[in-house]
Amino acid sequence: MNDSRIDLSVIVSTTPGDLSWTRLIEDFSLLSHGSEVILVGSKPQSDLVDASAKKSDIADRTTWIHAPENRAHQLNQALQKCKNRWIWILNSDCRVSSRTLAALEKSIQTYPAAIHYFDLDFTEDGPSVARANSLGTWLRSRLLNLPFGNQGLCTSRENFEATGGFDPSFDAHEDVQFIYQAKLKRIQIRPVAFPLKSNGKKYLLRGWLRTTGQEVKESWGKTFPSYFKYLKKRWLG
């Protein structure tokens, strides 16, 4: 990567006991020199962050934020710390390559007013049947124009300000509410022309059928009750 690339403020949401971000942080050596990384979670891990960041060249551009467990509140706190215009929110279990970053930059340059999201692909250490999960994500994103937060949402600071950020009154599903608010503001939602790698091994460790069933249940619970409220608000005011 070179200095002509877009400077990003990358927010990584972490959960207690999950250290997958220690692998992701190594990928951030690919970021432009003006980019920064902000990790946020409910348990202090600054020492571990420092040790992991030193494995790449981003130690002086990596920050840890300790915030209450409400994910919307965590993300809002991280948003306040961002120095760059373009803000990219990632789950800790994804992986980033030079092609990921190049595709994101091209999408930003082509549609600078949009919210950008990735289709999901799963790491090779997972079962081949996980391709069905990728297809399900693609269909939801395209048919309903409704990406979830694990799809690497990226947009400008102005769009976060226009939507009010993430609503802390929601203990969950804050990502869906954010997208609905963006749609009500007529902000365009655009896919990036390259998939984001997500953890496929979890489908082996937890069982593909069990994990997929939980994800489908959560997806329906997140999507449809709020979707009809969104449609009513959009068309009836």
Q: How do the pLDDT tens digits run along the chain, 237 residues long?
A: 444 589 999 999 998 888 888 889 989 999 999 999 999 988 766 667 666 766 667 778 999 998 888 899 999 999 999 999 999 999 999 999 999 999 999 999 999 999 999 999 987 765 677 778 888 889 999 998 999 999 999 999 999 999 999 999 887 789 999 999 999 999 999 999 999 998 866 766 677 677 677 777 777 776 777 777 777 787 876
What pLDDT was estimated at residue 83? 97
Answer whether residue 230 is part of any domain.
yes
The count of domains in the chain is 1
Answer whether residue 2 is part of any domain.
no
What pLDDT was estimated at residue 126? 59
Answer whether residue 1 is part of any domain.
no
What pLDDT was estimated at residue 36? 96
What pLDDT was estimated at residue 117? 98
Distance CA 119, CA 106 (A): 15
- We report the CATH number of the domain holding residue 104 as 3.90.550.10
What pLDDT was estimated at residue 3? 47
Q: What residue type is 134 in one-letter code?
A: S
Instruction: Give the full edge-to-edge strand order of the sheet including 120-122.
Output: 94-95, 196-198, 120-122
Answer whether residue 45 is part of any domain.
yes
What pLDDT was estimated at residue 17? 80
Answer whether residue 76 is part of any domain.
yes
| Domain range for 114 | 8-236
Answer whether residue 3 is part of any domain.
no
Instruction: Tell me 154's DSSP state.
Output: E
pTM: 0.89
Answer whether residue 197 is part of any domain.
yes
Contact 139, 131 (CB under 8 A): no
What pLDDT was estimated at residue 1? 41
Answer whether residue 192 is part of any domain.
yes
CA distances from 148 to 54, 76, 90 (A): 31, 17, 11
What pLDDT was estimated at residue 119? 97
